Amino acid sequence: MTTPTPPASVTLVLIVMNEERGIEAVVPGIDRAAFDDCFAVDGRSKDRTRALLEGYGIPVHDQEGKGLGSAMISARKLTRTTHVIFFHPDGNESAADLPKMAALLREGHDFVVASRMIKGAVNEDDVRVMKWRKWANQGFAVLANVLFAHGGNRTSDVTNGFRGISCAAWDRMQLTSRDLTMDYQMVIRALKLGIPITEFPTHEGHRVAGATNFASFATGKAELKLVWRELQLGRRRVQ
């Protein structure tokens, strides 16, 4: 007798650190009815981030360790649904796309990425003549596709943190990155394992306040180191 597959359920996780102004601007516009659960993972903010989120009725958990990857690993440990969406309420990511991502996960897609690089998408760099950030992202996507893709599975946006995944797929990936390379590692391991990457176009906005925590040069260097480590582990293996 086969065990019935549980119906898909989705948790929305807000990844935050010192994001009070972004929370004030973005969180009221989130349609939380699209999710079965919602909580935040906080990198030990020093401002009103925690108080604001709790005021909106969103539980807040401190992340274990430092770095983006650590926050996402903490989120997975806390998730009790079959799927999880990672969202950064800083203005860059479109809250209007959250129900669409949740719907794709409920339809059975294992790994969904909101892409800023495909037809119909808008990238923050599109208004600039020299699109260094966009070109770098596209270069890293090409590198991942050439080195690790097979079976028609491809990626176009490797650094957008706005993404959703089934917990089963996450666990298969055996993710280890604790820092800003986590988003790239997720994509590379999906390509290695043949976990289909589903993309839809999104419009990237501008940060509500402050600057990104990820400097371009340091980020690029870290991503290249990650590619080398993943190559050493094997082009079709994760460990």
Bin 232: left if φ > 0, else alpha if -120 < ψ < 50, else beta: alpha
SS3 114: strand
CATH for 10-233, options being 3.90.25.10, 3.30.9.10, 3.10.450.50, 3.90.550.10: 3.90.550.10
Task: Please state, in angstroms and rounded to a whole number, the distance separating the CA atoms of residues 144 and 184.
Answer: 9
Rounded to 5 degrees, what angle do the CA atoms 107, 79, 200 make? 35
Task: Please state, in angstroms and rounded to a whole number, the distance separating the CA atoms of residues 187 and 93.
Answer: 18
What DSSP state is assigned to residue 80?
-
Task: Please state, in angstroms and rounded to a whole number, the distance separating the CA atoms of residues 42 and 235.
Answer: 34
Per-domain residue ranges for the chain? 10-233
User: Burial of 113 by CB count in 10 Å (0-12 exposed, 13-18 middle, 19+ buried)?
Assistant: buried
Bin 157: left if φ > 0, else alpha if -120 < ψ < 50, else beta: beta
One-letter amino acid at 60 equals: V
Residue by residue, pLDDT tens for the chain (239 residues) are 556 667 899 999 999 999 999 999 999 999 999 999 999 999 999 999 999 999 999 999 999 999 999 999 999 999 999 999 999 999 999 999 999 999 999 999 999 999 999 999 888 776 776 777 888 889 999 999 999 999 999 999 999 999 999 999 999 999 999 999 999 999 999 999 999 999 999 999 988 886 554 456 688 889 999 999 999 998 887 76
